[in-house]
Chain A
Amino acid sequence: MRLTGAQIVVECLKKEDVKVIFGIPGGVIMPLYDVLYSETSIKHILTRHEQGAAHAADGYARATGKVGVCVATSGPGATNLVTGLANAYLDSIPLVAFTGQVPTNLIGTDAFQEVDICGITLPITKNNYVVRDVKDLARIVQEAFYIARTGRPGPVLIDFPKDIQLAQTEFEYPKKICLNGYKPTFSGNVKQIKAAVQAIKNAKKPVIYAGGGVISSNASSELRDLVLKTNIPVTTTLMGLGSFPETHSLSLGMLGMHGTPYANYAMSDADLIIALGVRFDDRITGKLDEFGSNAKVIHIDIDPAEVGKNVLVDIPIIGDVKDILEKLNKYILKKKETEWLEKIKDWKRKYPLKYCKNNGELKPQYIMEAINKITKVGTVIVTDVGQHQMWAAQYYQYNEPRTFISSGGLGTMGYGLPAAIGAKMGCPEKRVICISGDGSFQMNLQEIATAINNNLAITVIIMNNGYLGMVRQWQEFFFNKRYAETTLNGNPDFVKLVEAYGGTGIRVNKKQELYPALEKALSLDKFVLIDCLIPKEENVFPMVAPGSPISKMIGVE
């Protein structure tokens, strides 16, 4: 079958079972859009900014576990994807991005809307391609999807010159992928797995530290089996929230800079840390020299470069977390370290997460507790970045994987709304709630139009304190309360704003108004924004100051 390059891409997308793509057309990507115009099996969501398209594809990927796809034109369209790609790269999210490019004979001439997007995205993509011959196209698209979703997932970009979109060739989807420089290790070394079993058997104070890798390898049920058999408490990273049910008594919640005191104490006191799909980020370890200084470390991860990067590891096991846990669970013996569990129970009793509740104010923590109370298991919480993100992580109990969607590594303000759009497109049957702040929300609020235009019943909660709150909090603690440029004067009336787009807005000024507003929003099957006016200078606690060990937390006494 002779097809044009643009037709080949669409055929490849169908082969890869792509149902939804996000993007914006422009000059040199028009041949591809012309083919999409008459294609019924792929739904294209027109976002209002390419960054929105990249984040939406990312949210879609996180919610479904499939590869997210976004499309942009050359030049500014392509550069607008950059933040979204970096975001996906740091959180290991499978994406394939297509960018239009000027015709091959103009590449390198500074043509109109020409930019070297492969050069720009070199350090923030797992791989990228410029298609220079239409004969390579099908292979490249197939490789891109394969590379994006296998091994440690990540974004792949394909730069697609206009003349290649129009050029014709015989279409054949390659039967086999041949990449001799890319062979991720999948199965763990059995000897190492047995060593881990032995270490777990000997440990008196073990703790499991689970991250995003558990979710991306779909290893939650294997993790649960391990925990139920061994009674080892589990703490998760921000990226790992939902990998183990937080309502379970062995859950310690999140660890790290804004983690629970008992998670941080358990990590600091442990004699064995079982690290699953994590990368010992500075937000987790605090002062590196004192992190897990009493502990042996078992590190299970698919990326060999993460093992031993920040922390010395005693038992490294390279491979897929799910596959390795399955094998580990076969060898593992039942155990219960009663003394250790008592100690943890005691920490939980003495140092719960807490906030000042007495004066009837509408506290952000209270908002998250309320949402936790009235939503069912399986609700997808998507967040932006800042204080509200941490409250959402702390005060909502995540019981299922892929129900907490947040920008972890890059910390991208403006991620929330477009990611919620992607999540809702991927899981239309699930309730999707976007928790945002007045600062973050304004970084991509144009996507309200995308949500409303597609009748997406997303509930947005804005925790509105009139500040870039997390930065203000740091200024309060580390810069003598000199609030340099963190006051958000001139904020819009968010209720009127959403109404202008044709959505529903509700303002909540007082604590008593919260439940009725939430109930109303959740009962309406449409886009609703709730603007919650929260105390202006509320802080996120506990907090580990940068450079401190995680056992030393501000706000814990």
Chain B
Amino acid sequence: MRHTIAVLVKDHPGILARVASLFTRRGFNIESLAVGHTEETDISRMTIVVKGDERVLEQITKQLNKLIDVIRVKDISPQNSVERELALIKVNTNSLPARSEIIQTVDIFRANIIDVNSQIMTIETTGTEDKINALIELLRPFGLKEVVRTGKIALSRGSVTSSGLKK
């Protein structure tokens, strides 16, 4: 079972190492990890996708909470959240038919072409993991040169927030 957890952390040097080493030494597997700033200065948000049953999730949550620089840990269930991932895909476009087929596919997926020359096209797409997987699979036959993905980020739906740090 996969879980998405949001971890709000103090923006101290070494916090990423602290979180990552915790996962390693406790034997938890990170599937993806995305880090970035939040609406509050000095606070970053890590979105971590992990595999494990409820008990593993409980241990991860508790162990993360023990880190002094971790302010809040929240399990974000897929039913009650919006999640997105960004991917950049560089694909071969040596033949003309390939080129038009790729452009059609990009249109269907509402992705964008952000760089192009006679040899390659770089495509930008955001969406759920499944959508990005699907796009990549459709582009694979043309020859994928390079793929980079951000890892998932997520927010709870509605007015529920994970932060609410202001007193």
Contact = CB atoms under 8 A, between A and B. Distances in A.
Interface residues of B, number: 22
B68 A126 contact: yes
A126 B70 CA distance: 13
Interface string A176-216: 00011110000000000000000000000000000000000
Interface string B49-81: 000000100110011011111110000000000
Contact of B14 (A118, A126, A179, A309): A118
Interface stretch (A24-32, A300-308, A404-412, A549-557): A300-308
B21 interface: yes
Contacts of A181: 9-10, 67-71
A148 to B, nearest CB: 11
B2 to A, nearest CB: 21
Contacts of B65: 304-305
B26 to A, nearest CB: 9
B62 A147 contact: no
Interface string A93-128: 000000000000000000000000011001100110
B68 A147 contact: yes
Contacts of A132: 13
Interface string B21-32: 110010000000
Most buried by B among A126, A147, A305, A308: A305
Contacts of A126: 68
Contact of A123 (B9, B25, B59, B69): B25
Interface string B14-54: 10011001100100000000000000000000000000000
A222 to B, nearest CB: 25
Most buried by A among B25, B58, B62, B68: B68
A304 B18 contact: no
Contact of B55 (A119, A127, A179, A308): A308
B149 to A, nearest CB: 28
B108 interface: no
Contacts of A305: 59, 62-63, 65-66
Nearest to B20: A122
Most buried by B among A123, A132, A147: A123
B165 interface: yes
Given A308-B55, A309-B59, 15 more contacts: A118-B14, A122-B18, A122-B21, A123-B22, A127-B67, A127-B68, A130-B14, A180-B165, A181-B9, A181-B67, A181-B68, A181-B69, A182-B68, A304-B62, A305-B65
Interface of A: 118-119, 122-123, 126-127, 130, 132, 147, 179-182, 303-305, 308-309
Interface of B: 9-10, 13-14, 17-18, 21-22, 25, 55, 58-59, 62-63, 65-71, 165
20 contacts: A119-B14, A119-B17, A122-B14, A122-B17, A123-B21, A127-B68, A130-B14, A132-B13, A180-B71, A180-B165, A181-B10, A181-B67, A181-B68, A181-B71, A303-B66, A304-B62, A304-B65, A305-B65, A305-B66, A309-B59
Q: Which 9 A-B pairs have the closest CB atoms?
A: A305-B62, A181-B71, A127-B68, A182-B68, A304-B62, A181-B70, A123-B25, A305-B63, A122-B21
